[in-house]
Structures are given as structure tokens and as C-alpha cells.
């Protein structure tokens, strides 16, 4: 299982996911600004991994200057890095809550570091629990369709949706996990396939449009995905294309499971219409590895996420257990 986020005490090393699977290189972050840039530029991605990274970014900010104004500025810079994954804001709020009373004292940095390390460890534990709960919800041998990358690269380790896949594999119940490419950023083709190959998990790659065909022909029997933000009513924002898979799963009567730690639940947002959706550069759609694929000046849309209505989700699996419709995550 790969470790993509390495806290070094003086700085943070992040496995550069932009160049996987071709090169395994780490980017070194020494400041909160370096960390925010790494999140914005997708060196690190996946909701839980973004949260853990931001927590360390705040420790780096304090190591540079433990005054209140500078700490507040670091929070703002990190909060502006990506808008959809609520784990980012969860981590920033936790660090603010824990550290603000100590600002200006010698304990601030040490305490911040301990809180960030615990946040990191906790995410790994949560993923393991999600894996166990999710695997017990899905009886028998399974052919799983998944979308995007939700594994060790996207979390503190093990993974959410891919954590359930890992657990099924450990129980000898995984026939195969089918990863779709996940256009345009290719998290499935580049990252999920890489993780599965590294860890000996039986896998296959398909293009994004093939999900319906695979279900019709019984080549997959469930869909498991992650989430970037789950509203109080269970509407779930996840990588663009998730909603279409949920509709196809409903049509075919197969389980559609969302796996996420409770840090991905936004109890203050009543439903999916309030979830901010990141719009990404057009070039991600018109180009592949800097090679232009389309006519010049082609107009494109590139929303990074869509929202799957709660009614299409068979189960939301968190570290607490398996939740089923109707979901009530509000306070
Ligand atoms: O744009 P990304 O790669 O950060 O999007 C990631 C996803 O959509 C994941 O499915 C989600 O963050 C859950 S990761 C455990």
C-alpha cells in the first residue's frame, strides 16, 4: 500500500500524482503556500488526502510564524485551493479550533503537529472500518465497478471505495474490480490501475461510457464510489460521471454504494444544490499530456464533480457503519 503523504517534521513530501504511473517522484512542501499550490495543481488529490495535506500545511505555516495574522492568512490560502472536497474545510476548522487558543505561545507548533498527525492516523483507521462495513454489506463474490481513484493515493491509506475493494479481496470475494478511465483527468486509468497493479488486486480498465453495457451483460454486479462532499440529506458530490453510473445501476437493480469517512459529510448543507462544484481548465478536456486532441477554439465544459441524488444511493458507508435511504446526516 503506497504512502503518498509523508510528514518529515520539517516539511511535507507529497507523491506527485500528476506524473503517475510513469514516474514516482515526491514534491517537497515547506510552507502553507507550497501546500496550497500542491492541492490546487493536483499533486495530491482525493478528498481525505486533501484534508490531511491541509492540516500539515497549517503546521508548516506555524513553523514559519506563529503569530495570529500569519496563521489566519495560511487558513485563507489553503481554503482557496479547491472548493468541493469538504474534508479540506473540516481539517482547517479542526486546526483552527485546536491551535487558536495557543497562538503566540511555545506550545502552538507542537500541539498543531500532534493534531495533524492524529488526523492523518485517524483517516487510515476510518478507511479500514469503511472497508469492513462495506464488504459486509455486499454478500458473496463481487465484480465491482469503480470510478475515479479512491485508494491509498486519495486518502491517508487503504482507501474508501477502494478500501471496500481491498477488503473484498482480502476475504477472497473480489472477482475483479473494473476501473473506468475517469475522463478528463484519468484518475482511474492512471492511478487506480497503478494502485491495483502494485497491490496485486485483480483489475480491468474500461472507458467511462461502458458502465451501462457492463451492467446489462452482468460483467459487474455493484458500483462503489467515493465522495467529495455529502449533504445532510445524502446527496453526494463525486467525480464527474458518478451520477450517470448511479442511474445505470438503478436501472439494472444493482447496488450503488458511496464510501466516505464522516469528515466528508457536510451537515450544514441541506442538499446537493448547495455543494460548490469546481470548474477546471478547458485544456484538461481538449488536450492529453499537452497534445491537442480537438480543433482550435473548441468550446468545452469541465465541471470536476456532479451530484448524485440520495434516492439513487443504495448505501452510504462511513466508519460508523452502513447508512441507508432516507439519509439524515443533519445536526
Ligand atoms: O479531482 P479529484 O481527483 O480530487 O477527485 C477525487 C474524487 O472524486 C474521489 O472520488 C473523492 O475525492 C473520494 S477519494 C477517497
Give the torsion sign (CA, 192, 194, 197, 199): negative
Reduced to 3 states, what is the DSSP secondary structure of residue 10? Answer: coil
Burial of 220 (0-12, 13-18, 19+ CB in 10 A): buried
Burial of 21 (0-12, 13-18, 19+ CB in 10 A): middle
Cα 305 to averaged position of ligand 1 atoms, centre (Å): 9
Using the predicted structure, report yes or no on whether residue 194 has a pLDDT greater than 90.
yes
Using the predicted structure, report yes or no on whether residue 287 has a pLDDT greater than 80.
yes
Nearest CA owner, ligand 1 atom 6 = 46
- CA–chain centroid gap for 44, Å, is 10
> Domains of the chain, with CATH numbers?
5-125 (1.20.120.420), 138-323 (3.40.50.10470)
- pLDDT value at position 1? 83
Atom of ligand 1 nearest to the CA of 187: 3
Whether 13 and 170 have beta carbons less than 8 Å apart is answered as: no
Please state the rounded mean pLDDT for residues 191-217.
98
- Ligand 1 contact via 35 beta carbon (within 6 Å): no
- pLDDT value at position 4? 98
- pLDDT value at position 66? 84
Interstrand relation of 5-7 and 12-15 (parallel, antiparallel or unpaired): antiparallel
Catalytic residue (choose from 208, 228, 235, 306): 228
Angle between helices 47-64 and 68-79 (to 10 degrees): 160
Using the predicted structure, report yes or no on whether residue 141 has a pLDDT greater than 90.
yes
Q: Which residue shows C-alpha cell 476510518?
A: 126
Atom of ligand 1 nearest to the CA of 278: 1
Percent of the chain with pLDDT over 90: 97
Using the predicted structure, report yes or no on whether residue 331 has a pLDDT greater than 80.
no
Q: Which residue shows C-alpha cell 454478500?
A: 139
- Ligand 1 contact via 46 beta carbon (within 6 Å): yes
Using the predicted structure, report yes or no on whether residue 121 has a pLDDT greater than 80.
yes
- pLDDT value at position 113? 98
d(CA 264, CA 285): 27
Going by pLDDT thresholds of 50, 70 and 90, the confidence category of residue 330 is confident
Atom of ligand 1 nearest to the CA of 47: 12
Using the predicted structure, report yes or no on whether residue 223 has a pLDDT greater than 80.
yes
Please state the rounded mean pLDDT for residues 276-291.
96
Query: Does 34 participate in catalysis according to the annotation?
Result: no
Using the predicted structure, report yes or no on whether residue 106 has a pLDDT greater than 90.
no
Going by pLDDT thresholds of 50, 70 and 90, the confidence category of residue 67 is confident
Q: What is the mean pLDDT of the chain?
A: 97
Please state the rounded mean pLDDT for residues 118-127.
98
Cα 225 to averaged position of ligand 1 atoms, centre (Å): 9
pTM, rounded to two decimals? 0.97
Using the predicted structure, report yes or no on whether residue 108 has a pLDDT greater than 90.
yes
Percent of the chain with pLDDT over 70: 100
Cα 66 to averaged position of ligand 1 atoms, centre (Å): 32
Amino acid at each position: 500500500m503506497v504512502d503518498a503523504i509523508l510528514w518529515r517534521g520539517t516539511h511535507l513530501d507529497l507523491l506527485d500524482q500528476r506524473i503517475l504511473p510513469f514516474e514516482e517522484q515526491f514534491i517537497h512542501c515547506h510552507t502553507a503556500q507550497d501546500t496550497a499550490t500542491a492541492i490546487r495543481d493536483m499533486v495530491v488529490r482525493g478528498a481525505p488526502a486533501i484534508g490531511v495535506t491541509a492540516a500539515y500545511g497549517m503546521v508548516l505555516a506555524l513553523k514559519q510564524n506563529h503569530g495570529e495574522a500569519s496563521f489566519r492568512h495560511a487558513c485563507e490560502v489553503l481554503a482557496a485551493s479547491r472548493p468541493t472536497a469538504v474534508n479540506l474545510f473540516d481539517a482547517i476548522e479542526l486546526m483552527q479550533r485546536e491551535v487558536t487558543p495557543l497562538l503566540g505561545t511555545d506550545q502552538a507548533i507542537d500541539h498543531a503537529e500532534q493534531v495533524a498527525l492524529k488526523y492523518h492516523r485517524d483517516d487510515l483507521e476510518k478507511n479500514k472500518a469503511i472497508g469492513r462495513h462495506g464488504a459486509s454489506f455486499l454478500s458473496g463474490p463481487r465484480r465491482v465497478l469503480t470510478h475515479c481513484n479512491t485508494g491509498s493515493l486519495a486518502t491517508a491509506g487503504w482507501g474508501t471505495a477502494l478500501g471496500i475493494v481491498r477488503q473484498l479481496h482480502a476475504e477472497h470475494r473480489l472477482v475483479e474490480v473494473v476501473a473506468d478511465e475517469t475522463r478528463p483527468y484519468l484518475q482511474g486509468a492512471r492511478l487506480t490501475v497503478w494502485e491495483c497493479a502494485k497491490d496485486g488486486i485483480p483489475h480491468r480498465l474500461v472507458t467511462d461510457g461502458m458502465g451501462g453495457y457492463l451492467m446489462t451483460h452482468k460483467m459487474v454486479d455493484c458500483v462503489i464510489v467515493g465522495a467529495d462532499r455529502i449533504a445532510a440529506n445524502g446527496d453526494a458530490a463525486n467525480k464527474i460521471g458518478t451520477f450517470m453510473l448511479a442511474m445505470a445501476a438503478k436501472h439494472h437493480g444493482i447496488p450503488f454504494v458511496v464510501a466516505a469517512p464522516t469528515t466528508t459529510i457536510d451537515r450544514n448543507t441541506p442538499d446537493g444544490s448547495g455543494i460548490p462544484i469546481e470548474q477546471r481548465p478547458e485544456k484538461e478536456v481538449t488536450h492529453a499530456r499537452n497534445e491537442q486532441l480537438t480543433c482550435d477554439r473548441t468550446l468545452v465544459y469541465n465541471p470536476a464533480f456532479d451530484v448524485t441524488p440520495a434516492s439513487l444511493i443504495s448505501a452510504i458507508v462511513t466508519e460508523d457503519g452502513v447508512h441507508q435511504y432516507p439519509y439524515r446526516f443533519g445536526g
